[in-house]
């Protein structure tokens, strides 16, 4: 095996034993990027020179014996997290020349842990999309089939991990943007509880929904990254001062006696038969590991899509008002006055999907419509949260499909926004309720496309998620294939 193929914990062991160095691992990863990036297009801004310097510094730390689990490990960052001195674009022309003067908290934490940053990954513009096709910088392709989408909005991060163009990556999840691409690219993706991981330095899409989390090659690696990035941050107003356990202590424990909820509303007409078959098999694996599966109901699921596409665009409309061409970022030329400059900058700087959501959100917040749309959606959101609280009173975790279909063809849904939005039908409820979720590979279709199973738990129960995901991963023994690139 090449060094770029290993997991974090496997490389950690090799570094500890002196069998390799961070510089060798980082060089291996960039060799892989050179070989496949032209086809996959996972990155917006590779960071080769700084990565090699960080690797050399990590090797010095390791020689002194003060390295940790992430010291010297190459990690990619979704281009929605601020990086001091490195362009941060959010996949948009309007931020195509923006260089932040500070690091996001998660970046600072990984930097302190000795991680090596391989670069900033591609994404749907301002995280608005499910396919990474709305990026100003071009489309990322699914490593398993280059004619298909990798999912979104964190498609670049998911594709980079799947294609071994990094060892792990960070993404953000507003309505499924970690879990959906993780499922479609055959990797592990964890969305933490809202408030568990600091959003300071995360460029906002919908502030009450956004959350940062890891993409990894297996469940143990997800626990390792979570140990590094979770925790209270006084700089971030929604960060929760909840004690963070050592997530690795949950790995390898059995789930005998657990009650696993299967929501009847998630096995719906229209779900791909091969996806349903793979998830049904996952249920059998969980039962074989000693858990009891019970039917639960989440009756307000049918309203999730409508609620999300009022709440998220409304918050986006407010958050994106700051991009006006005055303070930073792209500014259109040739305007006669200030008002025309605003109009030209926003018209030219934003893509169609972002403009669509700004208009929807502005309408929902406008005088005379606020109560009918945003207020009503917020009330139904409360009912969705209560559904989960009721369900978790009857079970320890919930198991669902992550996506209704495998990865679809590039361009297949770009002209039909509603079909694109339905890609997130099984993931958006988690964001509305603020609970954690994890997607784990659960098999392949006949065409060789990955399928993911999703586990959900109550607030701040990431350890419980990692425990059942680890037990499932061990007992399912899913074939560890690699994309043929």
pLDDT band per the 50, 70, 90 thresholds, residue 422 = confident
Q: Is 154 a catalytic residue?
A: no
> What pLDDT sits at residue 480?
85
Rounded Cα–Cα distance for residues 224 and 242 (Å): 18
Is residue 453, in this structure, part of any structural domain at all? no
Rounded Cα–Cα distance for residues 283 and 393 (Å): 20
Is residue 328, in this structure, part of any structural domain at all? no
Is residue 303, in this structure, part of any structural domain at all? no
Is residue 270, in this structure, part of any structural domain at all? no
Q: Are 120 and 78 in contact (CB under 8 A)?
A: yes
Rounded Cα–Cα distance for residues 50 and 75 (Å): 13
> What pLDDT sits at residue 416?
85
Tell which phi-psi region holds residue 327, choosing left (phi > 0), alpha (psi between -120 and 50) or beta: alpha
Residue positions counted in the chain: 485
pTM here is 0.97
**What pLDDT, in 10s, does the model give residues 272-281?**
999 999 999 9
Annotated catalytic residue, options 177, 198, 429, 439 = 177
Q: Is 78 a catalytic residue?
A: yes
Q: Is 96 a catalytic residue?
A: no
Is residue 227, in this structure, part of any structural domain at all? yes
Is residue 437, in this structure, part of any structural domain at all? no
Annotated catalytic residue, options 22, 27, 28, 78 = 78
| CATH number of the CATH domain containing 165 | 3.90.1300.10
Query: No. of H helices and E strands in the chain?
Result: 15, 11
Is 90 exceeded by the pLDDT of residue 147? yes
Is residue 205, in this structure, part of any structural domain at all? yes
Is residue 131, in this structure, part of any structural domain at all? yes
DSSP secondary structure string for all residues of 145-181: BTTB---SSSHHHHHHHHTTSSSEEEEE-SSSTTHHH
**What pLDDT, in 10s, does the model give residues 8-18?**
999 999 999 99
Helix H, strand E, coil C: the string for 293-314 is EEEECCHHHHHHHHHHHHHHHH
Domain count across the chain: 1
Annotated catalytic residue, options 153, 239, 317, 423 = 153
Pairing of strands 116-121, 188-191: unpaired
**What pLDDT, in 10s, does the model give residues 315-330?**
999 999 999 999 889 9
Q: Which domain holds residue 191?
A: 3-241
């Amino acid at each position: 095996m090449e060094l770029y193929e290993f997991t974090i914990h496997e490389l950690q062991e090799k570094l500890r034993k002196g069998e390799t160095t961070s510089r060798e691992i980082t060089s291996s990863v960039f060799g892989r990027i050179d070989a496949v990036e032209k086809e996959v297009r996972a990155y917006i801004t590779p960071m080769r020179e700084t990565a090699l310097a960080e690797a050399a510094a990590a090797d010095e730390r390791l020689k002194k014996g003060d390295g940790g689990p992430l010291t010297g490990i190459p990690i990619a960052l979704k281009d929605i997290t601020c990086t001091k001195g490195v362009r941060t674009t959010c996949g948009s022309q309007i931020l195509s020349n923006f260089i932040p003067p500070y690091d996001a908290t998660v970046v600072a934490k990984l930097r302190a842990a000795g991680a090596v940053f391989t670069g900033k990954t591609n994404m749907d513009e301002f995280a608005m999309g499910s396919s990474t096709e709305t990026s100003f910088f071009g489309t990322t392709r699914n490593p398993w089939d280059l004619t298909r989408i990798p999912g979104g909005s964190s498609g670049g991060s998911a594709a980079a991990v799947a294609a071994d163009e990094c060892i792990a990556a960070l993404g953000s999840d507003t309505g499924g943007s970690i879990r959906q691409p993780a499922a479609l690219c055959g990797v592990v993706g964890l969305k933490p509880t809202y408030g568990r991981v600091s959003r300071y330095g995360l460029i906002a899409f919908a502030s009450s929904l956004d959350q940062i989390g890891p993409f990894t090659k297996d469940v143990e690696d997800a626990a390792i990254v979570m140990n590094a990035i979770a925790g209270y941050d006084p700089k971030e107003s929604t960060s929760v001062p909840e004690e963070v356990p050592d997530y690795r202590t949950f790995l390898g424990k059995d789930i005998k006696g657990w009650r696993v909820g299967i929501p009847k509303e998630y096995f719906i007409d229209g779900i791909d038969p091969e996806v349903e078959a793979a998830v049904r098999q996952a249920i059998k694996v969980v039962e074989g590991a000693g858990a009891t599966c019970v039917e639960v109901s989440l009756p307000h699921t049918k309203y999730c899509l409508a609620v999300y596409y009022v709440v998220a665009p409304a918050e986006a409309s407010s958050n994106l008002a700051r991009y006006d061409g005055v303070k930073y970022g792209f500014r259109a030329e040739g305007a006669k006055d200030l008002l025309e400059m605003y109009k030209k900058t926003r018209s030219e700087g934003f893509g169609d999907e972002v403009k669509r959501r700004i208009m929807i959100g502005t309408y929902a917040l406008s005088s005379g419509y606020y109560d009918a749309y945003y207020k009503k959606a917020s009330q139904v959101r409360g009912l969705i949260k209560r559904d989960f609280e009721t369900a978790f009173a009857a079970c320890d975790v919930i198991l669902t499909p992550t996506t209704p279909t495998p990865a679809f063809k590039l361009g297949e849904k770009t002209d039909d926004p509603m079909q694109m939005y339905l890609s997130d039908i099984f993931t958006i409820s988690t964001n509305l309720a603020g609970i954690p979720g994890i997607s784990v590979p659960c098999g392949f279709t006949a065409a060789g496309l990955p399928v993911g199973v999703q586990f959900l738990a109550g607030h701040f129960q990431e350890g419980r998620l990692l425990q059942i995901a680890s037990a499932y991963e061990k007992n399912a023994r899913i074939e560890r294939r690699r994309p043929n690139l």
